[in-house]
A and B are shown apart, each in its own frame.
Chain A
Amino acid sequence: MTVQSSCRDDFPALRRKIDGQTISYLDNGATTLKPRSVIDAVTEYYETNGANIHRGKHRLSEEASDAYEASRTVLARHIGAAANEVVLLRNTSEAINLVAGGLELPPDAYIVGCMDAHHSQILPWRRAGRLDLTRVDGYGRLDRDHFRELLRGRPQVVALTHCSNVTGVIHPVEELIEEVRAACDAVIVLDAAQSLPHERVNVHKLDVDFMAFSMHKMLGPTGVGCLFGRSELLAKLRPQNVGGGMVDWVDLDGSVDRRTPFKFESGTPAIASVIGCAAAIRYLEGLDAGAQHQHGQDLCAALVGGAIDRPGVSLIGPPDVKDRIPLATLRLADGVPAGEVARLLSDSHGYMVRSGHMCAQPLVTELAGGEVLRVSAYVYNDVSEIEGFYGALDELLSWMAPAARTGAGRT
């Protein structure tokens, strides 16, 4: 039994039909669908509680606080961290901005990043200091020599991307982190938003200082981004937002921040969504890890294999399945607009795929020259959907390619 066939029914959105047609959701790099257990957890909070957390002593508030903190514990355990090392924020962007602003770097701080980073791992660092991006080769793999060369500049921060949301390449972060540690004393900040949904990470084994990810990309509700930080580094980080919920004491002369991680969580958080995250983690951990890995490999092989040698498309990324997630970004032939194709794939064929610059415009511009089409699969997809997608794409492209169909038309 495949992972897909055992779990597709758990996702109510996949039962939906649009214009009488079943849908195939292949935009998982952007966000994933939610299983029934997550929806139920969110709904249960609203149906049976609804109170605020960490405020007051009444029964409902305490229950809500307990459920919220229990979720933090589940999240922390999933990545091998302690609960107080996990800050609950809105998304990966907010998590990285917290680190970039909270480190209080000098304006000319030297920072090394990656060319294939998401905008959320580029723009905060560009604002925080002097950012240099490590080059990638034509397939999107990091230029390791260039990386080492940049490290010789003794950066104060190295911002790594575990997996590109454009190429699907999983970078060898263990080796990269070793190189950073050997070369300098930079703070290492890892964007794991694309990798963690597919592969568990142990933050302490990885020896990373900070790691950011978003729960909505791994079956959780939207509105929850997580920041792991080593205790000693979190303690030095300056909160970027101040206000309710993050202080122990306030008087007319000043205030005393709460301990980590609470001092970074000002205001009322997305309580229901955080509670739903625990259900998402439990769901993922309940899948057979070996079967899930194999399923990912099968999806990846179908995505990559389908793109290679296919007329009218070229694959942005390596032409193999080694060290990559089941994601394929396609450049279409000149003159074929990716946005229009994505719209037709959706409305005429039921395939929901992404088009545009993927929030990684520097890389997409360099490797593809313009907007691209991205197909990204997850646990509830199966190989036949990928085959169906390519079939639909072939058909659409044949209607758009002048050479393929000619005729006099109506006279």
Chain B
Amino acid sequence: MSDAATFEAVREEIAYAYDNTVFFRRHMEELGLRPEDIRDAADFQRIAPTSKVHYRRNYPAGVLAQGYHLNSPNVMRFQSSGTSGDRLNSAIMSYDLARRQATGLGVNRRFDELWQPGSRPRICRFAPPNCSDVECATGFSSMEDRILPDGTLVLTVAHDLLATPEWQIVKALDEIESYQPDLLVVDPTHFAFLTRWARRLDRKITSPRRLHTVCGYTLMTRVARRQIEEFMGLDTPIGDMIGMSELGYLGFECHLGQRHINNRDFYVEFVQDGKPVEDGRTGELYVTTIDDGLIPRVRYATGDHFTPLGSPCACGSELPVVRVEGRATHMVRLSDGRIVTPAAVDVAVGPAPWMDLYKLEQDSTGACSFRYIPNAKARPDDVTALEARLVETLTPNRVHVEAVDYISSERSGKFQPCLSHISAEGV
């Protein structure tokens, strides 16, 4: 039996959002629609997608459901830097977050032991600073200052990841040791950086309890994953989270390494040119929340692209299997009309044991530069082979490969492994 969200649940969400939020009622009225007009999936597509701009512009008065306020019990408020500066202010019910998290993590048996009756996991977060709800980027705060209401300890890190000073890294390592977490919620590029430093300082990242690692915020590259797995060891469960600040867990990686999308707490669509895509084709994820009393979202265009694979997974989960492709603003656009996703670039790079970090950037002329930070294992043959793979992937556009010893982060603190100025400007 599948627990996938039913269309009836979607209709209820539409009716609720229409009756209780100013923005969505206006949105429907502008389209000449009323909830009863939406009877099936075809009708549903008559509703124009909603976006981050709508929810930013109308927050809180236009999007919070009638009867709630920002200090209502269980409301968690946050400000997100967003990706590439597309920032957002929003709120979420803590129990909705927990429900979505439970659905997501539920696909991975290695995370089962995290939730024991009567206890909740202790969490440390190591991620871009502006994604935090506390002022952590300065490192000017105590550990107590950085413990969120839900018990998560936010570790300090500089906005420009590679410029994080040693004292701040030591502080993060000390605090993990002191806090004894069960779960590390991390940005994979940030955490790979921390493991490199831990190795250099001859430190361990351990806890008396079994540590689990959830990676989110940005694309988990194979280069980052390799470093995390090598350092943490095979006993540490590592899972790639598909998520957004405003929605929580949209999916998770199962114990067999497949990404599953959460179609239980969300009604999901994969859309290209306004139409749903077939399995095996790439589309933008639109989500409709199910039973979100605080900020119901209908056909919310996430900006994240996925390919629904349409095949069952041996892990046993019925949540659909998808391939993560990356954000629309990060797609590399070739002059022959093809689009290369950040995920495809990552496949071309591979785990590259001779590399610590990379960034591919397409400038506004279409030319690409691939900068990487080599480590002691790098050999000329490795670079030559990588260059050949990148040329094959990105032809007919030019790609320039360059070894560097520093690559900056975005101002938000996020480090994107693949960027395209053409795509960003197009949006």
Taking a contact as CB atoms under 8 Å apart, the answer to whether A344 and B68 are in contact is no
Q: Within 8 Å of chain A (Cβ to Cβ): is B193?
A: no
Contact with B along A393-411 (1 / 0, CB 8 A): 0011011111011111110
- B residues less than 8 Å from A181 (CB atoms): none
Contact A347 B69 (CB under 8 A): no
User: With A400-B71, A404-B69, A409-B294 as given contacts, are A395 and B61 in contact (CB-CB < 8 Å)?
Assistant: yes
Which residue of A402, A405, A410 is within 8 Å of B293 (Cβ)?
Answer: A410
Q: Given known contacts A400-B71, A401-B71, is B65 in contact with A410 (CB within 8 Å)?
A: yes
Is the Cβ of B69 less than 8 Å from the Cβ of A405? yes
B311 at the interface (CB under 8 A from A): no
Complex interface: chain A residues within 8 A of B57 (CB) = 19-21, 347-348
| A405 nearest in chain B by CB position | B69
**Which chain B residues border A398 with CB–CB below 8 Å?**
69
CB-CB nearest in chain B for A344: B89
With a CB–CB cut-off of 8 A, which chain A residues contact B61? 348, 395, 399
Cβ-based interface call for B248 (8 A)? no
Q: Distance (Å) between the CB of B60 and the closest chain A CB?
A: 5
- Knowing A402-B71, A407-B68, say if A347 contacts B294 (CB, 8 Å): no
B residues less than 8 Å from A407 (CB atoms): 66-68
Chain A 3-38: CB-based contact to B (< 8 A → 1; otherwise 0): 000000000000000011100000000000000000
Query: In chain B, residues 93-138, which have Cβ atoms closer than 8 Å to a Cβ of chain A?
Result: none
A340 within 8 A of B: yes
Closest to B296 in A: A410
Cα A408 to Cα B293 in complex, Å, equals 10
Contacting pair A348 B89 (CB below 8 A): yes
| Residue A154 CB within 8 A of the other chain | no
Q: How far is the CA of A69 from the CA of B87 in the complex (A)?
A: 43
State the Cβ distance, A195 to closest chain B Cβ, in Å.
32
- Is A135 positioned at the interface, with any CB of B under 8 Å from its CB? no
Closest B-chain residue to A409, C-beta based?
A: B67
Proximity bits, B52-92, A CB within 8 Å = 1, else 0: 01001111110011111111100001010000000101000
A19 closest partner in B (C-beta):
B57
Assuming the A-B contacts A399-B70, A409-B65, A410-B65, are A347 and B56 also in contact, with contact meaning beta carbons closer than 8 angstroms in the complex?
Answer: yes
Interface presence of B24 (CB below 8 A): no
Q: Chain B, interface size: which category?
A: 20 to 34
Cβ-based interface call for A357 (8 A): no
Contact B65 A340 (CB under 8 A): no
Rounded to whole angstroms, the CA-CA distance of A239 and B379 in the bound complex is: 53
Compute how far the CA of A266 lies from the CA of B64 in the bound complex, rounded to whole angstroms: 56
User: Which A residues are CB-close (under 8 A) to B68?
Assistant: 405, 407, 409
- Hey, which chain B residues are within 8 Å of A399, CB to CB? 60-61, 64, 69-70
CB distance from A344 to the nearest CB of B (A): 6
Alpha-carbon separation in the docked complex, A407 to B64 (Å): 12
> Is there an interface contact between A347 and B89, defined as CB atoms closer than 8 Å?
yes
Question: Does A343 make an interface contact (CB < 8 A)?
Answer: yes
- Could you tell me if B67 and A347 are in contact, using CB atoms closer than 8 angstroms? no
Q: What are the residues of chain A within 8 A of B87 when measuring CB–CB?
A: 347
Contacts A404-B69, A410-B65 given; indicate if A343 touches B89 (C-beta within 8 A).
yes
- Residue on B with the closest CB to A410? B293
Identify which of B58, B59, B293 contacts A409 (C-beta below 8 A): B293
User: Is A348 in contact with B69, judged by CB distance below 8 angstroms?
Assistant: no
What DSSP secondary structure best describes chain B's contact surface?
A: loop
Which A-chain residue is minimally distant from B293 (CB atoms)? A410
Q: How far is the CA of A20 from the CA of B54 in the complex (A)?
A: 10
Residue B300 interfacial (CB < 8 Å): no
Chain B 24-63 near chain A by CB (<8 Å), digits 1 or 0: 0000000000000000000000000000010011111100
In the complex, what distance in Å separates the CA atom of A401 from the CA atom of B70? Answer: 8
Q: How far is the CA of A340 from the CA of B61 in the complex (A)?
A: 15
Contact of A340 among B53, B58, B77, B293 (CB under 8 A): B77
Which B residues touch A406, using CB under 8 A?
A: 69
Which A359-411 residues sit within 8 Å CB-CB of chain B? 395-396, 398-402, 404-410
* A402: B residues at CB distance < 8 A: 69, 71-72
8 Å CB contact of B59 from A344, A401, A404? A344
Q: Is the CB of B70 within 8 A of A400?
A: yes
B286 interface contact, C-beta 8 A: no
For the complex formed, measure the closest distance between the CB of B410 and the CB atoms of chain A, giving whole angstroms: 18
Residues of A within 8 A of B67 (CB): 405, 407-410
Is there an interface contact between B79 and A340, defined as CB atoms closer than 8 Å? yes
- Contacting residues, chain A, for B306 (C-beta < 8 A): none
Residues of A within 8 A of B71 (CB): 400-402
Q: How far is the CB of A93 from chain B (nearest CB, A)?
A: 20
> Which of B20, B71, B77: most chain A Cβ within 10 A?
B71
Complexed CA–CA distance, A410 and B17 (Å): 11
B16 at the A/B interface (Cβ < 8 Å)? yes
- Establish whether residues B59 and A347, one from each chain, have CB atoms under 8 Å apart when the complex forms: yes
Residues of A within 8 A of B16 (CB): 410
A399-B64, A409-B65, A410-B67 as given contacts; A19 in contact with B293, CB under 8 Å = no
Residues on A with beta carbons closer than 8 Å to the beta carbon of B53: 19-20
Q: How far is the CA of A21 from the CA of B59 in the complex (A)?
A: 14
- Whether B59 pairs with A348 at a CB distance below 8 angstroms is yes
As a 0/1 sequence over residues 163 to 204 of chain A, the CB contacts with chain B under 8 angstroms (1 = contact) are 000000000000000000000000000000000000000000
Q: A19-B53, A340-B79, A340-B89 are in contact. Are A409 and B72 (CB under 8 A)?
A: yes
| Smallest CB gap from B60: residue in A | A399
Query: Cα distance A251–B294 when bound, in Å?
Result: 75
CB A366 to nearest CB in B, in angstroms, measures 21
Among B58, B72, B293, contact of A348 (Cβ-Cβ < 8 Å) = B58
Residue of A nearest to B78 (CB): A340
Chain A residues in 8 Å Cβ range of B65:
409-410
Q: Distance (Å) between the CB of A263 and the closest chain B CB?
A: 36
The residue of chain B having its C-beta at the shortest distance from the C-beta of A21 within the complex is B57
- Closest Cβ of chain A to B245, distance in Å, is 14
A409 to B61, CA, bound (A): 14
Would you give the shortest CB distance from A141 to chain B, in whole angstroms? 32
Closest B-chain residue to A392, C-beta based? Answer: B61
Across the interface, name the chain B residue whose C-beta is closest to A395.
B61
Which single residue of chain A is at the shortest CB-CB distance from B79?
Answer: A343
Chain A 105-149 against B: per-residue CB contact (8 Å), 1 yes, 0 no? 000000000000000000000000000000000000000000000
Taking a contact as CB atoms closer than 8 A, the residue among B20, B56, B58, B69 that contacts A400 in the complex is B69
- Given the complex, which residues of A lie within 8 Å of B64, measured CB to CB? 399
Complex Cα distance, B68 from A406, in Å, reads: 7
A287 to B346, CA, bound (A): 59
Q: Which of B70, B72, B87 has the most CB of A within 10 A?
A: B70
The residue of chain A having its C-beta at the shortest distance from the C-beta of B16 within the complex is A410
Cα A198 to Cα B69 in complex, Å, equals: 40
Contact B60 A344 (CB under 8 A): yes
Which of chain B's residues have a CB closer than 8 A to the CB of A19?
A: 53, 56-57
Complex interface: chain B residues within 8 A of A396 (CB): 60
Q: Mark B294-307, 1 if CB is under 8 A from A, else 0.
A: 10000000000000
Q: Are A348 and B56 in contact (CB under 8 A)?
A: yes
Cα–Cα distance between A347 and B89 once the two chains are bound (Å): 8
Give Cα distance in the complex from A408 to B73, angstroms: 11
| Residue of A whose beta carbon sits closest to that of B54 | A19
A-B contacts besides A340-B89, A407-B67, 20 pairs, CB < 8 Å? A19-B56, A340-B77, A344-B60, A344-B89, A347-B57, A347-B89, A348-B56, A348-B59, A348-B60, A395-B61, A399-B61, A399-B69, A400-B69, A400-B71, A402-B71, A405-B67, A405-B68, A408-B67, A409-B68, A410-B291
Please list 5 pairs of residues, one from A and one from B, whose beta carbons are closer than 8 Å in the complex, sorted by A's number.
A20-B57, A21-B57, A348-B56, A396-B60, A409-B67
Instruction: List the 5 closest pairs (A to B, CB-CB), nearest first.
Output: A410-B293, A407-B67, A405-B69, A409-B67, A19-B57
